[in-house]
Structure 1
Amino acid sequence: MPRAVRFSEYGDVDVLRVEEVPMPDPGPGEVLVRVRAAGINPGEAAVRRGLLHERWPATFPSGQGSDLAGLVVASGPGVTGFRTDDEVLGWTDARASHADYVVTGARQLVPRPVGVPWPAAGGLFVAGSTAWAAVHAVGAGRGDTVVVAGAAGGVGSLAVQLARNAGATVIGLAGPHHHEWLSARGVVPVAYGEGMAEAIVAAADGARPDAFIDTFGADYVRLALRLGVEPQRINTIINQRDAVEFGTRTAGNAEGADPEVLAELAALIDRGALEVPISATYPLTEVRAAFRELERRHTLGKIVLVPGGPEPSAVVSAGR
């Protein structure tokens, strides 16, 4: 039978279970996808731990996962854009992609270009749409110097590349073990910690940065302000408190959640203009280990689940 990740109470990774579930059935406007890859994200860990209960409460038993890539198995009534065995990538809003099979809206899927590896396709949506929105929010462009905090993480590793593609000089804040990766992609690496502000100014040839993207939290909004960056050219995806206090931007996944954006990012990967670094892949049964690694917050790029579940046996498509 198909399997899916479930949890029935808030808690640490130990509350996660991989359970057998009925085969999902696509309704009108929906597509059933056999999942080949599904990224994991810090927000999913926060939901599972109950840290976002006031904003996004879980209904138990809860599934998890937004990112996905896989093969179309069946379509519901009204779906005309996809056929059986089409290769797709996209997302679900139902906390359900960490599974062998998932049903999602046809408008939340785009074709997978041949040059996009399955792990990259399955880990693209959340990080990619967030990075896209952040880079656009600060208006990164030719002649700008843009600082990215958390430059080697899932969102940061894409944001530095998108800002570079826009013509900006990019300074990436990351641990020394990620500096080689950043340098190889034209990013000026700076280690976080003591003396970071001075190092940023030095990397910017003594000038103040034009824009700042915070993907980590902590006090990076305040650091950006101390460096002289205008609030409207600071974007944080985590520190909502400082964003409200100082009037900075908070563009993220909600602003980038669009199939046209996803298709644009996939096309960039297909032609070699964007890379989704994959630090590790895990089978569905090792979802706990995958989240343990993620929550250490030292990962380069993305961690992706690769379900590899059973072939569909008897799936009736209402749309055919």
Structure 2
Amino acid sequence: MKAIVYRRYGGPEVLGMEDVPEPKLGPESVLIDVRAVSVNPVDWQTASGDLDGRFDVHFPVIPGWDVAGVVAEVGPTVTGFAVGDEVIGYVREDSIGRGTYAERVAAPVRTIARKPVNLSWEQAATVPIAGLTAYQSLVHALRVEAGDTVLVQAAAGGVGSFAVRIAVALGARVIGTASARNHDYLRSLGAEPVTYGPGLAERVRPLAPAGVTAVMDMYGGEELVSSLGLLREDARGRVVSLTNDGVLEHGGTFVFARPSTEDLDELRRMIESGLAVPEITTVLDLSEAAEAFRLSRTGHVRGKIVLRVSAG
């Protein structure tokens, strides 16, 4: 089968399309004919070596953790899925080597769920990592509910867009940070936009004079420090960070999304009930993965980049 592979750490230039053996099917896994995958910052961060301290890496590496496709074969102990099922998955294992930028993927059943029926393959591929990160941050870590005022950083990005939509669906008021060109987009999602960067606290306080009740941090550093200062006194510790585990020192939670069929199923139900998925900014062919990395690395992408693998 064809897959995107890198054999050493580096930038987009290390990616190449290669013929590789088909993945072996474990007893509790399904084999997926891949239709689309989405590109996440963690994909190129992993390829550059940024996560070398957190995961064992086995070269050559097939990047990617998001997938949308059709079950082609099931392992002998699998009972919840059948050949022909349309699924999505956050196929992250405990080490890095066998990813989703490929024509076929072997996915443990704990990492997959059924595809939302109202989404295209490209839309469905945007759901797993971004959706789980937002859902697990807001629902499990922050326990957001009606009446909360939530500050969401990088609110126009893939995770941020999901977070705004989910928080609004939960009945919260959302203040979202983004560049000025994305403010109308945030308003369309139901957020009150503010410009990110130095002076953030001074721009948020007029909107929430009493402070916010929860913070979703995407940057770390000074942005995290400024955000902590915006929390109401009775909301201290209600902060999650996706980039800086130093948030633990402030009583907050460091979130690195975990595969969960149950959470993916809940996202599917929300989406089928009307929760919109993030905007897709670019769809490329799998062979153009290096260009997708280049676009993602700019940090100015609104919504998601998707790689089309097969039309079925």
TM-score normalised per structure 1: 0.90
Q: Distance in 1 between matches of 2:221 and 2:187?
A: 24
- What's the counterpart of residue 19 of structure 2? 20
Q: Decide which of 213, 220, 223 is 1:220's aligned counterpart.
A: 223
Cα deviations by residue, 1:273-316 (Å, 9 ceiling, x for unpaired): 2322211111110000001111111111211111128x8xxxxx
Q: Unmatched 5+ residue regions in structure 2?
A: none
Ranges of 4+ aligned residues in structure 1 off by more than 4 Å: none
CA shift, 1:155, in A, is 1.0
Q: Decide which of 101, 110, 113 is 1:110's aligned counterpart.
A: 113
SS of 2:164's equivalent?
Answer: helix
SS of 1:102's equivalent?
Answer: strand
CA shift, 1:228, in A, is 3.7
Cα deviations by residue, 1:78-110 (Å, 9 ceiling, x for unpaired): 223322222111122244211111111123222
CA shift, 1:18, in A, is 1.1
- Percent of counterpart pairs with the same letter? 36
SS of 1:202's equivalent?
Answer: coil
Asked if the contact 1:116/1:266 (under 8 Å) is kept, the reply is: no
Q: Distance in 2 between matches of 1:273 and 1:92?
A: 23
Cα deviations by residue, 1:51-104 (Å, 9 ceiling, x for unpaired): 111211321111111110101111121223322222111122244211111111
Q: Decide which of 183, 186, 205 is 1:182's aligned counterpart.
A: 186
Cα deviations by residue, 1:166-221 (Å, 9 ceiling, x for unpaired): 111100000112111110121101011344212211122x2211111112333222
Question: 1:82-161, aligned counterparts within 5 Å?
Answer: 82-94=81-93, 95-136=98-139, 137-161=141-165
Q: Unmatched 5+ residue regions in structure 1?
A: 312-320
Cα deviations by residue, 1:207-257 (Å, 9 ceiling, x for unpaired): 21111111233322211222244441111111123x133232213403xx3
Q: Are 1:237 and 2:239 an aligned pair?
A: no
| Count of paired positions | 305
Q: Decide which of 235, 248, 251 is 1:247's aligned counterpart.
A: 251
Report the residue type matching 2:307 in the other structure: L
Q: Distance in 2 between matches of 1:138 and 1:25?
A: 38
Report the residue type matching 2:108 in the other structure: G
Q: Distance in 2 between matches of 1:38 and 1:181?
A: 24
Cα deviations by residue, 1:145-170 (Å, 9 ceiling, x for unpaired): 11111111111111111111111110
Q: Are 1:165 and 2:164 an aligned pair?
A: no
SS of 2:176's equivalent?
Answer: strand
Report the residue type matching 2:13 in the other structure: D
Q: Distance in 2 between matches of 1:209 and 1:216?
A: 18
Q: Distance in 1 between matches of 2:100 and 2:308?
A: 11
Q: Distance in 2 between matches of 1:153 and 1:217?
A: 16
Moved more, 191-200 or 129-138: 191-200
> 1:138–1:247: structure 2 CA closer, same or farther, 3 Å change rule?
same
SS of 1:4's equivalent?
Answer: strand
Asked if the contact 1:237/1:251 (under 8 Å) is kept, the reply is: yes
Report the residue type matching 2:131 in the other structure: G
- What's the counterpart of residue 43 of structure 1? 42
Q: Distance in 1 between matches of 2:263 and 2:41?
A: 21
- What's the counterpart of residue 272 of structure 2? 270
CA shift, 1:269, in A, is 1.5
- What's the counterpart of residue 296 of structure 2? 294
Asked if the contact 2:9/2:47 (under 8 Å) is kept, the reply is: yes
RMSD: 1.7
Report the residue type matching 1:270 in the other structure: E
